[in-house]
């Protein structure tokens, strides 16, 4: 009986270790390429919770200025998809090199670095 009880406890612990949230991004880089001054700067990072538990987005942080992050839902159920929208201010010409960092409870990637790149160019006269 003692061995049976230990086996059940081990099974429960093992099952809880397997049940985890996992995140899978369609793409971890958004490239604006050469985008004209004043153009639409909205893009998004699409992801899916491929795990068996609820994915919890703890926070999303961006580097630098000229970029606004619109977070997704905080809780994404198993099998569901969502996105993190970004809006880059294209009024200022120059190179775009930013990182968006997403913190979550995902077992496979608790901290995800998402890259934003491109170049805002003036129209030629």
What is the residue range of 65's domain?
A: 21-121
Instruction: Specify if 9 maps to a domain.
Output: no
pTM: predicted TM-score of the whole model, two decimal places: 0.80
Instruction: Specify if 7 maps to a domain.
Output: no
Instruction: Specify if 58 maps to a domain.
Output: yes
Q: Where residue 125 falls among pLDDT bands split at 50, 70, 90?
A: low
Per the structure, the count of domains in the chain is 1
Q: Where residue 84 falls among pLDDT bands split at 50, 70, 90?
A: very high
What is the pLDDT, as a whole number, of residue 64?
A: 80
Dump pLDDT digits (tens) for 44-81: 999 999 999 999 999 999 988 899 998 777 999 999 99
What is the pLDDT, as a whole number, of residue 38?
A: 93
Tokens of 83: 């996105």
What is the chain's mean pLDDT, rounded? 88
Greater confidence (52 vs 18) lies with 52
Contact present, 44 and 71 (Cβ < 8 Å): no
Greater confidence (64 vs 39) lies with 39
Close Cβ partners of 81 (under 8 Å, ≥ 6 residues apart): 46, 47, 48, 49
What is the pLDDT, as a whole number, of residue 7?
A: 57
What CATH code is carried by the domain that includes residue 49? 2.60.40.10
């Amino acid at each position: 009986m003692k061995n049976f009880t230990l086996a059940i406890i081990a099974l429960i612990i093992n099952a809880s270790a397997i049940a985890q949230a996992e995140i899978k991004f369609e793409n971890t880089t958004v490239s604006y390429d050469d985008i004209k001054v004043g153009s639409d700067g909205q893009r998004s990072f699409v992801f899916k919770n491929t795990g068996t538990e609820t994915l919890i987005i703890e926070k999303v942080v961006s580097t630098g200025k000229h970029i606004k992050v619109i977070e997704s839902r905080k809780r994404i159920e198993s099998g569901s998809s969502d996105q993190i929208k970004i809006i880059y201010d294209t009024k200022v010409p120059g190179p775009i090199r930013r990182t968006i960092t997403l913190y979550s409870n995902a077992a496979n990637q608790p901290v995800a670095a998402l890259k934003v790149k491109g170049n805002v160019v003036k129209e030629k006269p």
